[in-house]
Amino acid sequence: MRRLGFVVCAVLVCVFPWRGEASALERAALSLTGPDCQRSQSAIIESLEHLEGVAKVEGNVIPDHLLVDHDGRRRTGDELADFLNGLPHLHGRCGAAFMKSCISAGVGINAVYPGSRR
């Protein structure tokens, strides 16, 4: 019986951290500027999708922007932009910047809604 309890606990400990990942998911909006952005968009999306911690990249929601659903504990939005700006084949042809604006959620929101972006 004690062994069964140990097994159940071990399963819970192993399984529930995975469920907890959903709360770390953030969306970063990256603006793209440059002559090659449109042509290179699928390659850019593919590069981002290969990054650890990136769940989804959408390029057709907002004009000239990428929306990246990623693990916010692993990288910030600025670091995602830095990653793209560091790709040699994009250098000078398409620049990325992490979008910050007046409609970014307020500081209080994370306390209430951990899934929401800062």
Beta bridge partners of 56: 69
Site for other proteins in 27-86 (CB under 8 A): 27, 29, 49, 52-56, 61-63, 67, 69-71, 73-74
Q: How many CB atoms lie within 10 A of CB 11?
A: 10
User: CB-wise, 92 or 108, nearer to other proteins?
Assistant: 108
CA distance 82 to 84: 5
CB-CB contact of 99 with 31 (8 Å)? yes
- Given the complex with other proteins, which of 2 and 52 has the nearer CB atom? 52
Taken in order 16, 21, 22, 23, the sign of the CA dihedral is positive
Q: Is 21 or 79 the residue whose CB approaches other proteins more closely? A: 21
* Interacting residue ranges for other proteins, rule: CB under 8 A: 17-18, 21-27, 29, 49, 52-56, 61-63, 67, 69-71, 73-74, 99, 102-106, 108-109, 112-117
